[in-house]
Amino acid sequence: MNKKWGVPLAAAVALQFGCWGTAFAGASFMHTGGRTTQPVGHYEFCQGFPQECRQATPKQAPVELTRALWDKIVSVNNSVNTSVAPRTDMEMWGREEVWSFPANGEGDCEDYVLEKRRQLMQAGVPAGNLLVTVVRQPNGDGHAVLTAHTSMGDFILDNLEPRVLTWDETEYTYLKRQSDRNSGAWVTINDGRADAVASVR
């Protein structure tokens, strides 16, 4: 166990994951592949907010998951989930796949993700460690979540789940996510859960 965490934080993380063993069984990272297509909604979002898609992060180890950062991740996830009311793009804009920051306190999954990413970046987390991620729900519907890429694994911030879970604790099929080097580029995800690794690639 990382000594910087201490027993209180370990207990808090264990409570979120449901058991001590799950929390500290080993860091789990997604296997990503090569470049892939950018979601059309993200492409259009980049036209309106070009600075959000020009963020370059040097190749380096994931951000260290300290107690302070963990508290901030949990706080932002809870705050955005409770302050934004769910509403579909069709209800708000009259068309599908409009990615934006929450408008008038309302939004769909991508809007939750973008707001969480914005707030965590404002708190000092590098862009390359906050990755918009596209998944498929068990019922087949598409969904977006935020991946926090940290020294202790890839954690998922999700508007449909109050807990911050490791990516392989969720029931989603992972399809693609932003590149950790270039926020305007996207890469594939190999979602073979047996391929999850316990070391930084």
pLDDT value at residue 38: 97
- Alpha carbon 52 to chain centroid, angstroms: 15
Give Rg (Cα) of the chain.
16
pLDDT value at residue 103: 87
Give the whole-number percent of the chain exceeding pLDDT 70: 83
Q: How many residues does the chain have?
A: 201
Give residue-wise pLDDT tens across range 95-139: 888 999 998 899 999 999 999 999 999 999 999 999 999 999 999
Mean pLDDT of 31-51: 96
pLDDT value at residue 89: 84
Give residue-wise pLDDT tens across range 47-93: 999 999 999 999 989 999 999 999 999 999 999 999 999 998 899 88
Residue 110 to residues 39, 49, 85, 127: CA-CA distances in angstroms? 11, 14, 13, 16
- The phi, psi pair for 150, rounded to 5°, reads -125, 170
Domains of the chain: 6-195 (3.10.620)
193 Cβ contact list (under 8 Å, min separation 6) = 168
| Burial class (CB within 10 angstroms; exposed 0-12, middle 13-18, buried 19+) of 7 | exposed
Distance of alpha carbon 177 from alpha carbon 162, whole angstroms? 21
112 closest CA partner among 78, 69, 150 = 78
Distance of alpha carbon 114 from alpha carbon 101, whole angstroms? 6
CA atoms within 13 A of residue 34's CA, in its CB half-sphere: 0
Sign of the C-alpha dihedral computed for residues 176, 180, 181 and 184 taken in this order: positive
Please check the confidence at residue 8 and state whether its pLDDT lies above 50. Answer: no
Please check the confidence at residue 23 and state whether its pLDDT lies above 70. Answer: no
pLDDT value at residue 7: 40
pLDDT band of residue 26 (cuts 50, 70, 90) is: low
- Alpha carbon 144 to chain centroid, angstroms: 8
Structure tokens at 71: 């508290």
